[in-house]
Copies of this chain bind each other. A is one copy, B any other.
Amino acid sequence: MAGPITIAFDVMGSDFGPAEVVAGAAGLSLEAPQIHALLVGDRDAIGDTLKEIRHSGERISVHHAGSFVAMDEKPAEALKSKPDASISVAAQLVAEGEADALVTAGNTGAGILACAQRFKLIPGIRRAALAAVYPTRRLHGEKEDPFSLILDVGATVEASADDLVAFAVMGASYAKIISRNPNPTVALLSNGTEPLKGPARVVEAHRKLKEMPGLRFVGNVEGVDIPKGTADVIVCDGFVGNVCLKMLEGVQETVIELAGYAHKSKLRWRAGLAMLSSGIRHLKEVTDWQQYGGAPVLGFDRILIKAHGRSQARAIANAGKVAAKAAASDLSRTILAGLPK
């Protein structure tokens, strides 16, 4: 792709407010000369922050949007009642070619829906998928990356066998291009490793995936394989994936639980936990999957990166870099080429 890549940032609706998102884009403008940031949201709030913060003026532009969707609003209703919501305006700019990709730290459902209303699905894809990059025990690919990809985690609550096959192709393409893992292993989440285990849609997806050329399908995996990282890409419907991902976040609380036992029990345990406290903090950081440059929404001809609502400037800048990498790559073409003919 020639010239700079333009990333539209929905600066509104995140937990820390517009200033944090603007600060992330401002930082990016100084360190990533190939990226142009198009900030979409309240022009006064954006202007106030830009006045205070170092940035490269020629790599940032502003597009006003009169309202925004709050975190606790219902996506469909909010988008309908607020046609000038920042996420809708930003998605429209991307759809019209004014920007190449979209980053938001706001309401996840509103982000996906605003794109679904304006972006085109890649031919052969019927449903988009939200993918989460999360840390595992096993290292992956040539870069020995500790992360796996799990999709869908909430965009498509009910997925057919064909949807699951498409998710597998999308996840493998993303791992190849963004995670630079040239031959990623792909597994199907089920209640047993045997090919006939699971609901009908999962059994059918297994059969179809086994026949897919160019896909390194390693069969079914079980719940315990998610934190282990048995496969580079794990495929499931959005319902199961969402439940699992939220359990995974509960890992932090397990550590706190251990602390609770120690508190009630031996002095020796308390001393051990005190010595470990920085280790536990470290583990909490490592298990916060949403810090890793955000979660990509796959399946559209343009990419949406959903950054964590609590993202600080650093995480927003990372999300912008991932979005630019996806936009500059041939991700959509790789997905298209991998789909069943």
Contacts and interface: CB of A to CB of B under 8 A. Distances in A.
Interface stretch (A90-98, A238-246, A295-303): A238-246
B268 A275 contact: yes
Contact of A243 (B222, B249, B266): B222
A32 interface: no
A269 B279 contact: yes
Interface residues on A, range: 35 or more
Contact of A278 (B239, B247, B266): B266
A81 interface: no
Contact of A223 (B157, B190, B238, B243): B243
Nearest to A236: B243
B223 A191 contact: no
Contacts of A242: 191-192, 222-223
Contacts of A154: 191
A308 to B, nearest CB: 15
A258 interface: yes
Interface-centre pick from A154, A246, A255 (highest chain B CB count, 10 A): A246
Interface in A227-267: 227-228, 238-240, 242-251, 253-255, 257-258, 260-262, 265-266
Given A192-B242, A244-B247, 20 more contacts: A191-B239, A191-B242, A202-B239, A222-B242, A223-B244, A223-B248, A227-B250, A227-B254, A228-B250, A240-B240, A243-B243, A243-B244, A244-B244, A247-B248, A251-B251, A251-B254, A255-B258, A261-B286, A266-B278, A272-B272
Interface of A: 137, 154, 157-158, 189-192, 198-200, 202, 222-224, 226-228, 238-240, 242-251, 253-255, 257-258, 260-262, 265-266, 268-269, 271-276, 278-280, 282-283, 286
